[in-house]
A and B are shown apart, each in its own frame.
Chain A
Amino acid sequence: MRATMKSLAALLGGLAVVASAGMAIAQETPPAGGEPKDFNLAEATEFELPNGLGVTMVPYGKVPKTTVQLVIRTGNIDESADEVWLADLMGDLMKEGTTTRSAEDIAREAASMGGSLNIGLGLDRSSVSGTVLAEFGTDLVALIGDVTLNPAFPESELDRLRGDRIRQVSIARTRAQSVTQERFRAVMYPDHPYGRLYPTEEQLQGYTLEQVRGFYEANFGAARSHLYVTGMFDEAAIREAIEAAFSGWKEGPPATVDIPEPVTGRAVHILDRPGAPQSTIQVGLPTVDPSHEDFVALSVSNALLGGSFASRITANIREDKGYTYSPFSQVSSRYRDAYWVEMADVTTAVTGASLDEIFYEIDRLANEPPSEEELRGIQNYLAGIFVLQNSSRAGIVGQLAYMRLHGLPDDYLETYVDRIYAVTPEEVQRIVQEYIRPDDMLLVVTGDRDQVEEQLVEFGTPIVD
């Protein structure tokens, strides 16, 4: 069903393995397969426009499509406490037309190229992007350039878009996963944009066209942006189109650097959801970000602990106990900031039992290194995922943009697999001891308070609302 047809990211955390229970006696062993084939990372060409806009072009694949993605180092990080989602509203309004194109023109032109124009505002990165049939690659560059440089910001559309965002927030606040995430972030990042996941209706009602324009003027510019082109394209023609579309862009200010100081320490929060059949859990703590020397070892440890199908937590609470469908842990990162989190929706009656098992698995890995064999399995898995991550247009752009954001060295991709395999069992144990510390974890549970509160007392005095 749709529900089981997960995206790749979710797929990494779906099913799981139980090593002991119910194993059949193997009469045949799997054929080992042949010799591994070489993997060619796609070759990139880079250049920079005089205004500071960096460009990376990566020819890739045989499917006649071109992806163009402009990444701008701005987003919610540039909002003040009373401007939550002003960035998002600005992004909405950018699609409503340029000085020479109406919203319908933009939609039709993109559709005639076999694509659509997408604008997404994120926490510390935003993008204007599209994927079209390859013969229209240069036209897409021109369209993205016009939308980015010459937005009309028509006042006539502001109230409609505001209403859409108010409706979206209203619905998000009835989703257990959204409100859990909102609280988790608010507690971890007080007084920082990362801690303000949703605006109030009053905030959205209050934003003016001047504020929208002001946000654009203050935060859009070539110096903090990078353009990626990948897929099938004619390099010379694309380059010419980029120069034509973006040379006139103002340099603008550099990206904002506002590194948060997240709160670390055990706290238990309950968000009451009367009658809920499940409890929605997020449990985690701030940790090291991708620029840290321990980050690769942390990624390996996370995959083994809770971040893959065969991981220990998933094997325990899903495949052994049947408490949940889609438990998953990850290291969520932003520029010089990251936290580790385990997320799960568990049957209400086993809320406390699920947390006991999660902490049991963390403690077990902190107390005893994994076997060489278990670790090797995870390393093979991450090496395979690495190939997948670099084997699609979106994946290639994602990897390059990730390196650029975090300031990773040029040989990052080339050496990544070696660094995965260099992690030892003892290092995994040390990483868990050092970075995945239950005593310092924030625990947010959205569920039926009457049934859940007592189950959570063992983890700390719950703050309830």
Chain B
Amino acid sequence: MRRTSLWAGAAAIVAMALTACQPADQPTAELDTAFSVPVEYYTLDNGLRVVLSPDNTAPIVTVAVYYNVGLRLEPRDRTGFAHLFEHMMFQGSENLGKMEFVRLVQEVGGVLNGSTRMDFTNYFEIVPAHKLETMLWAEADRMKGLAITQENLTNQQGVVSNEVKVNVLNQPYGGFPWLDMPQLANTNWYNAHNFYGELSDLEAATLEDVQEFFDTFYAPNNAALAVVGDFDPAEARAWIEQYFGPIAAGPEVPEFDISEPRQEEEKRSSKVDALAPRPALAFAYHTPERNSPEYWAFGLIDQILVQGEDSRLFQRLVQEDGFTAGVGGSMNDLGNIYNYEGPMLWTVSLYHDADVSADDILAAADEVVERIRTEPVDEETLARARTKLKSSLLNSMEGLFGFGRADLLASFALFDDDPSRINRIEEEFAAVTPELILQTAQEYLRPTNRTILTVEPGAAEGGAAAGAGSR
């Protein structure tokens, strides 16, 4: 076995051995497919929620800090600010100047990112396991406070406006449906504004706005820290106390009313997309309150109707009717069915040709939807939906080298004060009956709970666009 140095230190790569062929009849142990996630959960005196989940599969560790503020809660004249603020968290803190944070992570052999979602903003690093202490120190440093200049802010306003251009303004179907649908289906401003932000609002942001947002939301008592990977929990606890413990708790975060009223009438809108060569269609329904019995039933409905090529909408709209190549669908366009807290939409979308009308497609979709509202699902379909959910939960946990697990643990800590529920999700779905699915579908898949969006093509067929984005 050959050993080589790694990370300029004592570590070794243990060589891959290409062993010769084993006899096929060699007796093997029974496959052990039981899986549960270790969870240690506690709260620091300053209110920071901490979740530790060791896993020594690979010598890497994920550190993820989640702040309990997302796209909904930005100031009214500052659309897009929560996301712009996320960028500012990379622009300098007390002991790490502009982008020194990024260089620190990269130079220890790690990767990092941040993202702004409906109900949280996260910052995470995936690094070699022995750099855990370094990352805890660095995340604590920026939780203490920012040290940024007008120049940094101006620079990131430029970067973010380029982000909006590349992802929305200069793209056919830019923002469809993930940015468009919440603005149409919701009525409460917190849920119904432009989350990416108007360019004029982004440009208007000041350093004072940045400080005020930090002071309001970025405190240990409004955050969760998750550590996943190859580490010793006792050692991690000591470092967390050392680096995060001294950070003072912030004032209590104000209450925001983010509730949505029950939708009583179907809504329908259309937009012309100057860059799009073909029509597109999306429809969305408000979903049951998170963690209610109907919510778990809706998770199964999502699987039965739209997840995978076995789903009823795929089989009908793609396989039978040939309207489209695929049907997109999700309960949380900016995440998964677990990592949000607040009103949510189940959105279905597809691209189609001009020789088929949106109404024809909707009529076919309605037949599929009406079936689940009137006919109890059979055992085979229900069992398959549960299997798909179990498998997709494992996918979520595995995502990005352990980050996916940290994401669920931090979300369950922030929103439910109970990260150990990661191990009980399968039970929740197992408890759902065909009757509950029927009742849930009757209430939540009502036509009057639906919003329809059609995209009219404004571009020449198959050629260069006539003009740039219409907004």
Question: Which of A175, A382, A392 interacts with B172 by CB under 8 Å?
Answer: A175
In the complex, A378 Cα to B103 Cα: how many Å? 10
Q: Contact: A17 with B102, CB < 8 Å? A: yes
- What size tier do the contact residues of chain B reach? 35 or more
Q: Contact: A135 with B5, CB < 8 Å? A: no
In the complex, A29 Cα to B96 Cα: how many Å? 9
Q: Interface-forming stretch among A79-87, A103-111, A215-223, A293-301?
A: A103-111
Name the residue of chain B whose CB is nearest to the CB of A116. Answer: B308
Please report which residues of chain A, range 34-79, place their CB below 8 angstroms from some CB of chain B when the two chains form the complex.
34-47, 61-65
In the complex, A110 Cα to B55 Cα: how many Å? 29
Question: Which of A6, A347, A392 interacts with B165 by CB under 8 Å?
Answer: A347
Q: Interface-forming stretch among B41-49, B112-120, B208-216, B283-291?
A: B112-120
Q: Contact: A235 with B22, CB < 8 Å? A: yes
Question: Which of B158, B170, B401 interacts with A392 by CB under 8 Å?
Answer: B401
Q: Contact: B133 with A116, CB < 8 Å? A: no
Please report which residues of chain B, range 358-407, place their CB below 8 angstroms from some CB of chain A when the two chains form the complex.
383-384, 387-388, 390-391, 394, 397-398, 400-401
Q: Contact: B96 with A47, CB < 8 Å? A: no
Within 8 Å of chain B (Cβ to Cβ): is A245? Answer: no
Q: Contact: A1 with B31, CB < 8 Å? A: no
Question: Which of B2, B18, B24, B31 interacts with A135 by CB under 8 Å?
Answer: B31
| A-B contact number at CB 8 A | 403
Q: Contact: A2 with B111, CB < 8 Å? A: no
With A133-B390, A277-B469 already in contact, the answer to whether A384 and B108 are too (CB < 8 A) is: yes
Query: B13-47 interface mask toward A, CB cutoff 8 Å, 1 = contact, 0 = none?
Result: 11111111110111111011111000000000000
Q: Which residues of B lie under 8 Å from residue A411 when comparing CB positions?
A: 2, 15
With A26-B96, A171-B172, A322-B157 already in contact, the answer to whether A164 and B106 are too (CB < 8 A) is: no
Q: Contact: A174 with B459, CB < 8 Å? A: yes
Q: Contact: A175 with B171, CB < 8 Å? A: yes
Q: Which residues of A lie under 8 Å from residue B94 when comparing CB positions?
A: 24, 27-28
In the complex, A35 Cα to B57 Cα: how many Å? 18
With A23-B97, A114-B390 already in contact, the answer to whether A36 and B9 are too (CB < 8 A) is: yes
Q: Contact: A163 with B322, CB < 8 Å? A: yes
Within 8 Å of chain A (Cβ to Cβ): is B132? Answer: yes
Within 8 Å of chain B (Cβ to Cβ): is A391? Answer: yes
Least Cβ–Cβ distance between A103 and chain B, in angstroms: 6
Question: Which of A111, A133, A232 interacts with B310 by CB under 8 Å?
Answer: A111
Q: Which residues of B lie under 8 Å from residue A229 when comparing CB positions?
A: none
Query: B160-191 interface mask toward A, CB cutoff 8 Å, 1 = contact, 0 = none?
Result: 11110111011111000010000000000000
Question: Which of A26, A44, A47, A133 interacts with B33 by CB under 8 Å?
Answer: A133
Within 8 Å of chain B (Cβ to Cβ): is A201? Answer: yes
Least Cβ–Cβ distance between B27 and chain A, in angstroms: 8
Q: Contact: B115 with A34, CB < 8 Å? A: no
Q: Which residues of A lie under 8 Å from residue B159 when comparing CB positions?
A: 318-319, 322, 324-325
In the complex, A294 Cα to B55 Cα: how many Å? 37
Q: Contact: A387 with B162, CB < 8 Å? A: no
Q: Interface-forming stretch among B245-253, B436-444, B460-468?
A: B460-468
With A1-B334, A27-B94 already in contact, the answer to whether A387 and B33 are too (CB < 8 A) is: no
Question: Which of B16, B34, B111, B351 interacts with A414 by CB under 8 Å?
Answer: B16
In the complex, A113 Cα to B24 Cα: how many Å? 24
Q: Interface-forming stretch among A249-257, A355-363, A415-423?
A: A415-423
Q: Contact: A34 with B468, CB < 8 Å? A: no
Please report which residues of chain A, range 256-277, place their CB below 8 angstroms from some CB of chain B when the two chains form the complex.
271-277
Q: Interface-forming stretch among B121-129, B259-267, B292-300?
A: B121-129
Within 8 Å of chain B (Cβ to Cβ): is A388? Answer: yes
Query: A205-236 interface mask toward B, CB cutoff 8 Å, 1 = contact, 0 = none?
Result: 00000000000000000000000000011111
Q: Which residues of A lie under 8 Å from residue B152 when comparing CB positions?
A: 22
Q: Contact: A170 with B126, CB < 8 Å? A: no
With A1-B83, A33-B132 already in contact, the answer to whether A377 and B390 are too (CB < 8 A) is: no
Q: Contact: B309 with A116, CB < 8 Å? A: yes
Name the residue of chain B whose CB is nearest to the CB of A380. Answer: B109
In the complex, A377 Cα to B184 Cα: how many Å? 47
With A133-B391, A387-B60 already in contact, the answer to whether A170 and B310 are too (CB < 8 A) is: no
Name the residue of chain A whose CB is nearest to the CB of B3. Answer: A38
Q: Interface-forming stretch among A8-16, A142-150, A425-433, A434-442?
A: A8-16
Least Cβ–Cβ distance between A305 and chain B, in angstroms: 14
Name the residue of chain B whose CB is nearest to the CB of A399. Answer: B16
Question: Which of B11, B16, B116, B387 interacts with A36 by CB under 8 Å?
Answer: B11
Q: Contact: B13 with A111, CB < 8 Å? A: no
Within 8 Å of chain A (Cβ to Cβ): is B107? Answer: yes
With A24-B95, A381-B109 already in contact, the answer to whether A310 and B18 are too (CB < 8 A) is: no
Q: Contact: B461 with A170, CB < 8 Å? A: yes
Within 8 Å of chain A (Cβ to Cβ): is B196? Answer: yes
Within 8 Å of chain A (Cβ to Cβ): is B8? Answer: yes
Within 8 Å of chain A (Cβ to Cβ): is B341? Answer: no
In the complex, A385 Cα to B105 Cα: how many Å? 12
Least Cβ–Cβ distance between B301 and chain A, in angstroms: 15
Q: Contact: A377 with B103, CB < 8 Å? A: yes
With A31-B133, A116-B308, A383-B109 already in contact, the answer to whether A8 and B400 are too (CB < 8 A) is: yes
Question: Which of A37, A44, A65, A377 interacts with B129 by CB under 8 Å?
Answer: A37
In the complex, A6 Cα to B167 Cα: how many Å? 12
Question: Which of B130, B151, B388 interacts with A37 by CB under 8 Å?
Answer: B130
Query: B44-77 interface mask toward A, CB cutoff 8 Å, 1 = contact, 0 = none?
Result: 0000000000010111100000000001000000
Least Cβ–Cβ distance between B379 and chain A, in angstroms: 12
Q: Contact: A41 with B16, CB < 8 Å? A: yes
In the complex, A278 Cα to B334 Cα: how many Å? 25
Q: Contact: B113 with A11, CB < 8 Å? A: yes
With A22-B152, A387-B58 already in contact, the answer to whether A134 and B33 are too (CB < 8 A) is: yes
Least Cβ–Cβ distance between A278 and chain B, in angstroms: 5
**15 A-B pairs, CB-CB below 8 angstroms?**
A4-B114, A8-B111, A17-B100, A45-B21, A46-B19, A64-B35, A111-B309, A111-B310, A116-B308, A235-B28, A275-B467, A277-B469, A280-B170, A323-B158, A380-B109
Query: A24-B93, A174-B464, A421-B8 given. 14 additional CB < 8 A pairs?
Result: A15-B112, A30-B104, A36-B130, A38-B13, A39-B11, A41-B15, A45-B18, A61-B57, A63-B398, A112-B384, A171-B351, A233-B31, A236-B28, A310-B103
